[in-house]
Structure 1
Amino acid sequence: MERNVICMKWGTLYGPDYVNVLYNVVRENLSGDFRFICLTDDTTGIVPGVETFPIPDMGLSEFNWKKGGWAKLTVFQRELYDITGRCLFLDLDSIVTGPLDVLFEAPGDVLVIDSSENWRNPDANAEPKAMTSIFAFTAGQHPEVYDKFMADHDGMVAKYRIEQVYLQGEIDGGLAYWPREWVVSFKWHLRQPVLMGLVKHPNPPGPQCRVLAFHGEPRPIDLVHKGIWGIGPHWGRGRVPWAVDYWQRYGGDIG
C-alpha cells in the first residue's frame, strides 16, 4: 500500500522552515518509498521533494477558517487529488524523534492521540479524548467525516468547536489510539514544573518516543530562540540545546 506523510500550512503563523524541517526529518526516519505532501495556500520557500496542493475550499467564514483546525477534515474526502493508500498526518509543530514505520503499521483504522488524563497518567482509566496533532488513516475510507461536516458546517462548528472533537463524535466506527509512549506531549511530559523552566531546560524526549507533540504554547521555534518563552507560570528561558540541534540538523534557521 502506498504511504503518504501529509502536513498542512496556511496563513503566516508557520513559515516554510517548518515544512522543510519536517520533510527532512521524515526522510531520515521513514524507510522505503513514500510521498511527502503539503496542503497549503503558499508554496513560497518549500523545498523540492515536497509535493504541494491547494487546501480545498470548505466555504468557512474567515474566523472559523483560522480557528479550530477544521481544514484538516479535507483529507477525509472520498477523493483528494491523486492521494491513495495509508496516510500519516503531522502538524507542522511536531518534532519527529524516532522511526516512523511503526506508525503506519500500528493496528487501527483511524488512529489519533488520546489526550485525556490517560496521556499523563497510565493508571487513570479515563474516557479517551481525541487529539489530532498526529493521526493516521487510509485515503478515501471515511468520506462521511468530510461529507457530514460540509452538509452543515456552521452547525457542526457551533456544536463541536474544534475539529478533533467533531472527528471523535461523527466518525463511523470510532477511533483507535496511539500507544502513549510513541507520541509524547511537550507540555505534559517534558517541560519543567512551574517556574523551574526559568532555571532548567526541559527534558529531551525518551527513546520510545516517535513524535513529540506541541499543543498550545510554546511552539518548537520558541525553544531555539533566546529569551523567555511559554505562558506563565510555565515559562522557559533561552535556547534549548536538543531543540536547537534538531532544528539546525534538519535545515531550519535559528536566526
Structure 2
Amino acid sequence: MRATILCIKWGTAFDASEVNLLYRACRDNVPGELRFVCLTDNRDGLLDGIEAREIPDIGLAPAAWKLPGVWRKLSLFSDEISDLGRVLFIDLDMMIVGDLQPFFDQVEGSRFLNVGKSWYPGKEGLEKEVGTGVYSYDIGENAHVLTAFVQDMEGHMQNWQNEQDFVGAHADAPSYWPEGLVLSFKRHLCHRYGKGLFVAPSAPPASARIIAFHGNPRPVDTVKQTIWGPAPHWHAGTPNWIIEYRQRYGGDA
C-alpha cells in the first residue's frame, strides 16, 4: 500500500530546500512506495519526486495569511484535495530520525500529537491537547472541520488562539501518537536557563522517529545562528547530529 505524506509551504518562512530536505528524509525512512505532496504557492526549486499542488482557496484574505495562528493551514481539510485520501501530514520544521512505519499503521480515525503537559511546562494540569505538527487523517472524512471554520472565519480567528486549537475542538474523537515517537526539540532535548551555552542538546534516542522544532528555534536557526533559542534558554553552536542530518539529506550545514 502506497504511503502518502503531505506538507504545506507558503510565503518566505521556508524555502524549497526545506521541502526537499523533508522529502529526502521521508523517502529514506518510509518502507515501500511513497507519494509526497506539497501544497504551495511557489513550486520553484522542488525536486522532481515531489508532487506540487496549489493551496486550496478557503476564502481567507491574503492579509490573514500572515496572522498569528497559521489559519491558512486549515486548507488541509479542503475537499479540493480529498482525492489524496488518507495522508500523514508533517510540518516543515520537523526532522525525520527513524522508521515512519508506525505512523502508517493508523488506518482509520484521526491521530495527532499530544502537546499537553509533557510538551509545555505551563500546561502541567492538561493531560492531552491536540497538536497538528504531525497527524494522520482522511481528508474527505474531515471536511466538517473546514466547513465549521468558513461559517464564521473572523469570529473563529478572534476566539481561538490558532488553527491547532480549532482543529482539536472540531475533530471527531481524536487519538494521539504513543509517547516518545515524536519528541519536542526544545522541551525534551534542549537545556534550560543558559546551560545550553555550555552543553549541547541531547541526541534523540533510538525510539524517537520525529523531532519537532515548533516555534523558536527552527532547525535552520541552529545552523545559521551562533546563539539561538528563546531567552533565557539560549544555546550555542550546532549539534553534530543536526549537521550530519542536514548534510545527509541535502541541507545547508
Corresponding position of 1:136: 136
- 5+ unaligned residues in a row in structure 1: which ranges? none
Native 8 Å contact 2:160 2:166 kept in 1: yes
Q: CA deviation at 1:79?
A: 4.0
Corresponding position of 2:240: 241
Corresponding position of 2:74: 73
- What does the per-residue CA deviation read over 1:116-173, in whole Å, with 9 as the maximum and x for residues that have no partner? 114479xx673311111111101311110111111211111112120010011122x2
Corresponding position of 2:205: 206
Give the 5 Å matches for 1:1-255. 2-66=2-66, 67-80=68-81, 82-84=83-85, 86-106=86-106, 109-119=109-119, 126-171=126-171, 173-254=172-253
Cα distance in 2 between the residues matched to 1:141 and 1:81 = 9
Cα distance in 2 between the residues matched to 1:81 and 1:168 = 20
Cα distance in 2 between the residues matched to 1:186 and 1:153 = 32
Native 8 Å contact 2:60 2:72 kept in 1: no
Q: CA deviation at 1:81?
A: 6.3
Identity of aligned residues (%): 37
Native 8 Å contact 2:5 2:89 kept in 1: yes
- 1:212–1:204 distance in 2 versus 1, CA, 3 Å: same
- 1:88–1:247 distance in 2 versus 1, CA, 3 Å: same
- 5+ unaligned residues in a row in structure 2: which ranges? none
Q: CA deviation at 1:108?
A: 5.7
Q: CA deviation at 1:187?
A: 1.3
Aligned length: 250
Cα distance in 1 between the residues matched to 2:125 and 2:108 = 20
Cα distance in 2 between the residues matched to 1:110 and 1:125 = 24
Cα distance in 2 between the residues matched to 1:125 and 1:108 = 29
TM, length-normalised to structure 2: 0.93
The amino acid across from 1:176 in the alignment is S
Native 8 Å contact 1:228 1:237 kept in 2: yes
- What does the per-residue CA deviation read over 1:172-217, in whole Å, with 9 as the maximum and x for residues that have no partner? x221111121010011100012101111110111111111111111
- What does the per-residue CA deviation read over 1:44-64, in whole Å, with 9 as the maximum and x for residues that have no partner? 111110000111122223443
The amino acid across from 2:177 in the alignment is W
Native 8 Å contact 1:112 1:131 kept in 2: yes
Native 8 Å contact 1:168 1:174 kept in 2: no
Native 8 Å contact 1:7 1:38 kept in 2: yes
- 1:43–1:249 distance in 2 versus 1, CA, 3 Å: same
Q: CA deviation at 1:11?
A: 0.6
SS in 1 for 2:6: strand
Cα distance in 1 between the residues matched to 2:64 and 2:177 = 28
The amino acid across from 2:98 in the alignment is G
The amino acid across from 2:227 in the alignment is I
- 1:37–1:197 distance in 2 versus 1, CA, 3 Å: same
Cα distance in 2 between the residues matched to 1:226 and 1:148 = 41
Cα distance in 2 between the residues matched to 1:120 and 1:149 = 26
- What does the per-residue CA deviation read over 1:74-100, in whole Å, with 9 as the maximum and x for residues that have no partner? 22223416422x211111000001000
TM, length-normalised to structure 1: 0.92
Which 4+ stretches in 1 moved above 6 angstroms?
Answer: none
Cα distance in 2 between the residues matched to 1:138 and 1:221 = 31
